[in-house]
Amino acid sequence: MFLFIQWAESQESMRRQKLCDTLTSPMQRLTRYSLLLKAVLSNSTDDRERLIIQTMIDRTDAATQQLNFELNNNDLRLQMAEIMKSIDGYDAVDCEEFEKLFPNRRATLDLMAPMPLLPGPPQFRRVIHRGNLKIRESRQGPKVEMHCLLFTDMLLLCKTSNKRTDKGLRVARPPIHIAHMIYHPFNDASGFFIICMNEFDAPCSIYLMHTTDEKETRRWLEMINITSNEFKRLQGRHSDFDTSPTYDIRKGYISFLSYFSLRPLWQQSPPHCLAPISHRKSSSMDSQVVAAHAHLNRKCFS
């Protein structure tokens, strides 16, 4: 890659410019095409020509939006790559034991992967807020200083080996997804609670996050609230891409059944499939019929 850049910048057509400077020209021109086509549209009178030009405008705008989306995702991936360099390990579980049991897998957290639980095209997280907090897992437990990173979709609790810098981070607890997180301030505003809820709407962990003053507490709660709203907005933006039934942990059973219009199972089956037959004492001929029906049902429901 370095040799190619050297060769490209040595060409006379470059006029001693850097390669990265010339690559921005197509990006800048792309935004002008839509303005040019709109000017042509305003001076066109033929209906067929106007329809063709409007189609060109729509496609140009869509290409520009897609380009902006990809450039933004690339910037976010680069940002996550820098953070990944500062993380030395994943200590939320016994990594050695895990890798012994599963030699083909590594106990790690890939921050550069797309965010889960979001429909539509891949979207990548960014850092919303970060800082050092003293954390307890119970009122009688000891305070442990951790470096906390709030991303678009998760809160990450890390221990640091060097308090002066953010290098040498080790993930101390499993990531807390923003959609499964409940937060509440202390009565004296010296910190706040973080409760992690699982998929069954039951609390699975609680953290007491101690800050230095009321201002820092307010700042963290404000950032968590902004992040929660941002994730909900991202979920709603591409909801049309998701054709599967939604599962709400508070009313999941009813909402899942409503996807099938609450119809009985046998009404959803193909017409040639028969309902299961209850066994009874019978002759050998009846047993053969029951076996035939069971074989047919296995084909229908497989």
Per-residue H/E/C for 168-224: CEEECCCCEEHHHEEEEECCCCCEEEEEEECCCCCEEEEEEEECCCHHHHHHHHHHH
Q: Treating both helix axes as pointing N-terminal to C-terminal, what angle do 47-86 and 19-42 enclose, rounded to 10 degrees? A: 150
| Whether residue 249 has pLDDT greater than 80 | no
Question: Quick one: pLDDT band at residue 219, thresholds 50, 70, 90?
Answer: very high
Q: How confident is the model at residue 294 (pLDDT cuts 50, 70, 90)?
A: low
| pLDDT of 106 above 90 | no
Q: What is the C-alpha separation between 66 and 72, in angstroms, rounded?
A: 10
Give residue-wise pLDDT tens across range 29-43: 777 888 889 999 999
**Which residues does 189 contact at the CB level (< 8 Å), separation at least 6?**
214, 217, 218
Q: What is the pLDDT of residue 293?
A: 52
pLDDT bracket for residue 134 (50, 70, 90): very high
